[in-house]
Structure 1
Amino acid sequence: MSKRLMALSVLVIFVLTFGLSGCGSQQPAKPAEQSKAKVLKIGSDTAFAPFEFQDENSKEYVGFDMDLVKAIAKQMGVEVQVQSMGFDGLIPALEAGNIDATISAMTITSERAQKVNFSKPYYKSGLSMVVKVDNNTLKSFKDLEGKRIAVQIGTTGADEAKKIKNATIREFNTAPEAFIELKNGGVDAVVNDLPVNEYYIAQAGGKDAKIVGEPLTSEEYGIATAKKNTELADKINKALDEVKKNGEYEKIYVKWFGKKPPQ
């Protein structure tokens, strides 16, 4: 009996030892051990087509800036989370730490550069003016003296319009609101970024408005990060260089503007 008990004890120990270890190897990894994708919180004024706007069908944010920042994030190995907000609230949101970066057709200026870090320029633009299609009296920025001008609040277009002698400036939260005001006859012209004006004209089929005169300024857009977050700024610049090098930037540019980017 004693030999049988001893043999049985050895068998039980064998089963418990190897059986339990086998079960343990099949257990899934704990949540804390699973890798989690990092998220880059991006702030943007999503009413500035063709750079950023909401698709009517999918309700997703699309545009040149949206495609570009996703390509940059892919190079960085992170995911993008877009937060829509007013243009004039973007820099305060960066300073408060509510977002990590902003891409919103933001012109690089010395004043803004005192508050944020800008990436290398990713787009060259300039200010232009839009008038109603039947307006043949306004042909240049000089003709805007004493006129009613619609602009988007917080933009370089608003800054330049305020310099025009005796002009009445009406500021709107979004570019589409400024264009609607022009269509309704509430203002004589809209001053805004050239590609945005061109996109509006194209979408309207040139029925309501037209662009007149030469661009007032030459501007460059940059991706902004918090002044203290130099590490993120460096990573974005590195990723932007790579996106331009591997041809992805050119693909995105052609998609939204129908031509290759200037060299």
Structure 2
Amino acid sequence: MLKEKIAEVFSVKLYQLLGIFIITLTFGLTGCSSEKPALPAGNDNSAPTPIAQDTDRFIVAGSGTNLPITMKLAEAYKRKNNINIEVPNSIGSDGAVKAVQDGTLKLGLMSRPLTDEEKAVGLHQSISINNCMATC
């Protein structure tokens, strides 16, 4: 009985997170520049070089804190919408900010809120649960 209740609660939470993820992707896919510069120099992590963003493929990168749930949500979203969401290794919150700022990513994963300076250059925090995502 307890096991079934835990599974039910987890299932509801997963669908809620999936809904939030889909909404975030919807906003992340609209209104951003089409330029695709490379990841910023000085990146200590081994994230792959991003490819051009298109409607069949979408890259979400940033803080490693978000990666496990992001990978699960990306898999579920792909099954439902046939859009490949790539989640490379961590580039960190700062790497996500730089990549969104320069147009390499349309959606960056962060394990901290945006700073006032980051907001001042036009970045927006779309979702804030325990972590947040920066979008242009």
Look at both structures and tell me which one has the larger radius of gyration over its CA atoms.
Answer: 1
Calculate the TM-score normalised by the size of structure 1: 0.26
Calculate the TM-score normalised by the size of structure 2: 0.44
| Structure (1/2) with the larger strand percentage | 1
